[in-house]
Amino acid sequence: GQQLNQSPQSMFIQEGEDVSMNCTSSSIFNTWLWYKQDPGEGPVLLIALYKAGELTSNGRLTAQFGITRKDSFLNISASIPSDVGIYFCAGRPGSNYQLIWGAGTKLIIKP
């Protein structure tokens, strides 16, 4: 079946650093989404992307829909303590397909 490779698996960063993570798929997608999950909570949608090459920002977060339609990237600028959590990418080849989820990137801020 289709798979998403999300990397890195975890990141240890200093407060104030920029963060980059990405997701690649084995097939072409027409939708990419990025969610964040805090401990004990459900995932929350951060950014949705619907067009190849699209670059969308949400505050300090910026996500891009890769030109090949097989990848997506999420950047966080000037990280703060509340950015800690698990970031999931999700995507699908079309609206009649189920979302496929990555395994998540765990963001940890070094004290």
Partner 1 sequence: EAGVAQSPRYKIIEKRQSVAFWCNPISGHATLYWYQQILGQGPKLLIQFQNNGVVDDSQLPKDRFSAERLKGVDSTLKIQPAKLEDSAVYLCASSLDRSTGELFFGEGSRLTVL
Which residues in this chain contact partner 1 in the complex, by CB under 8 A?
31, 33, 40-45, 48, 88, 90-92, 95, 98-99, 101-104
Choice between 83 and 102, CB closer to partner 1: 102
H or E element in which residue 56 lies: strand 55-58
Sheet holding 4-7, edge to edge: 4-7, 19-25, 71-76, 61-65, 55-58
Least distance in angstroms from the C-beta of 87 to partner 1: 11
Sign of CA dihedral 37, 77, 3, 12: negative
Nearer to partner 1, 82 or 98 (CB): 98
CB of 77 to partner 1, least distance (A): 24
Q: Which is nearer to partner 1, 40 or 111 (CB)?
A: 40
Minimum distance, C-beta of residue 86 to partner 1, in the bound complex (Å): 9
What the block records as the tokens of 90 is 């999700």
Angle subtended at Cα 49 by Cα 66 and Cα 57, rounded to the nearest 5 degrees: 95
